Structure 1
């Protein structure tokens, strides 16, 4: 059994503007790396975890930072906006990392997107958006227990809330991972999908996986008998009882976001 060694990474809060959004970012850097640009993963937690508080949805990111030596960034949605705008906010954060990550000692050429549960859906969306626009360059996407919400009810929102021009139809945005044509999936980065055994959403995950493979994408799928605190959506993964899941995700990031560590 693998043992996770916990350290106390440095967490920085930073407010930035991108695509007309004012974004509140949390940047987590490992404590044992000399000040230098680091590969980064943009972490997208489950929607429900936002209601559990900052410590809840940062715990998974912290474990991955400790295991990889990479930095993590996640964006906190503004409470006055509903969930339908969140995908645009996360994509704006991805673009900020690519354009201005150097300001936070981030290597903007080594970016992964990591999504947990509903956040896996958002990760798939922003990776498609990046491929469609040929920027930013995402080198890896990791979907942890992804839950695709196709044909979900969409709130009526003020059209001014959507600042970006890449997509004008919210339904098209949220349904894109499962509905996109094969040619739209070409050029996507390698994908690691981490699934629960016998999960209710596995048929959608299998369909997405098959579309990626048919488009020629590099896809790895791993099954786990996973444990989640109280098995409640939005609660964090228990790192001790899900250590293989964390170790596998970290290994993929080390594989695709090449990093030579200089520790102090």
Structure 2
């Protein structure tokens, strides 16, 4: 387990984001929002708060699935002379929201960092569909890539899967099922703050119940929307941690966050994997919250995590050997500031975050409404915004500093 499960307070950039998120959540409860509206809100948030770096090609493809068409978005990072490995990404969203757009930024970053082809998969959502449908779709996508990936320049002997939150649950279940079926063979499973047990309630659920993006109220609301979809949540196909035998599974990279209500779920699954002889690289961000990977435009820990995920995938695809370790990453401890210095620092951080957020939301909305006009305008205005961005980056370098320390095994 990490030496520090939860920092004394969230990292600086996370604090700035959470201040505004908490204000917004108090102003508009999700309970009064239709499911369709919830899905659209999360889509806009993910598009605005993710940096979405350019890649060589983005290919939209639809395949036949067990319950109808499965949409996939294939990210090709750069030109290559030989087939490259592939990483399939399963988005989060409590099984009820999310889609190709909400995983877009994550997939772009990982494709570039790992120099692999990354594939976002859209699965059937609850409550319209049973919880088994999402994992059936993701497994079908994996099997399709293993059988047909060569047409996209994929080396189908080097595959990995991963997902965040509900997507981590699905990825863990599919990794188990792929092993049981005898393939496709996986080099790595990436599980970001996964929900691997849909039955048990862990201590972190009480510790981080309110104020940290994913709240107990939100979890209860998701359960109400799922209704009877999780009545058999102790089935390993739904709750992978309930599997009696985890031996032989592919090595895992687990990302956890200190201020996450389901933090202990992912940590528990990591310990179960290690006990079964499965190597686990645990990246623990003690000052972060559930869902932070989607906010790489404003949170440096997100960029750090995406780079580390890419590095781990690249190593796995090279056959460098599985890594079993715990690395803890958080803000650099600072000297105790005076009350005035601390207040000024918090104001700078919040102002910077608000500045970036407003700019990105405006750009995102304009891009959705008038994509051609927005691209042209963005190109013309880029020189005008350059001085302001230089100031912003200068401030960021002063206030955003992460420290990483390996705590298991002892270096």
User: Structure 1: how far apart are the matches of 2:86 and 2:241?
Assistant: 26
- SS of residue paired to 1:200: coil
Distance (Å, rounded) in 1 between the aligned partners of 2:190 and 2:315: 13
What's 2:304 paired with? 244
Task: Decide which moves more: 17-26 or 46-55.
Answer: 46-55
The alpha carbon displacement at 1:207 in A equals: 1.9
State the 1:208 CA deviation: 1.0
SS in 2 for 1:99: helix
Question: 1:197 deviation in Å?
Answer: 1.6
Hey, what does 1:66 align to over in structure 2? 112
Contact 1:52 1:235 in 2 (8 A): no
CA RMSD of aligned residues (A): 3.0
* Mapped partners of 1:10, 1:21: distance in 2: 26
Match of 1:17 in 2: 64
Say which SS state the counterpart of residue 192 (structure 1) adopts: strand
1:237 CA drift (Å): 3.2
Select which of 234, 237, 252 maps to 1:191.
Answer: 252
- Mapping 1:157-176, distance limit 5 Å: 171-175=235-239
CA distance in 1 between counterparts of 2:99 and 2:70 reads: 17
Instruction: For structure 1, list consecutive stretches of 5 or more residues without a partner in the other structure.
Output: 157-168, 260-264
2:254 equivalent to 1:179? no
In structure 2, relative to structure 1, the CA distance for the partners of 1:37 and 1:252 (3 Å cut) is same
Any unmatched runs of 5+ in structure 2? 1-50, 200-222, 320-411
Contact 2:74 2:119 in 1 (8 A): yes
- Matched residue, 2:173: 125
Are 1:7 and 1:66, in contact at CA under 8 Å, matched by a contact in 2?
no
Contact 2:135 2:173 in 1 (8 A): yes
Question: Is 1:220 aligned with 2:281?
Answer: yes
Q: Can you list the C-alpha shifts for 1:141-198, whole angstroms capped at 9, x where unaligned?
A: 1111222351375439xxxxxxxxxxxx9944102x11111xx311111111111124
Query: SS at 1:113's partner residue?
Result: strand
Tell me if structure 2 keeps the 8 A contact 1:84–1:170: no
What TM-score do the two structures reach when normalised by structure 2?
0.52
User: Which residue number in structure 2 is paired with residue 41 of structure 1?
Assistant: 87
Structure-1-length-normalised TM-score: 0.79
- Residue of structure 2 in register with 1:100 after alignment: 148
Contact 1:195-1:221 at 8 Å conserved across structures? yes
State whether residues 55 and 76 of structure 2, in contact with CA within 8 Å, keep that contact through their aligned partners in structure 1.
Answer: no
Residue equivalent to 2:122:
76
Other-structure match for 1:159:
none
Q: What residue in structure 2 maps to residue 254 of structure 1?
A: 314
Task: Determine which structure has greater relative contact order: mean sequence separation of CA pairs < 8 Å that are 6+ residues apart, divided by chain length.
Answer: 1
Q: Which residue of 1 aligns with 2:55?
A: 8
Distance 2:52 2:104 in 1: 16
Structure with a larger share of its residues in helix: 2
Q: How many residues align?
A: 238
Counterpart of 1:57 in 2: which secondary structure?
helix
Aligned-partner Cα distance in 1 for 2:135–2:103: 17
After alignment, is 43-52 or 112-121 more displaced? Answer: 43-52
Measured after TM superposition, the shift of residue 52 of structure 1 is 5.7
4+ residue stretches of structure 1 with deviation over 6 A?
A: none
CA distance in 2, matches of 1:209, 1:221: 8
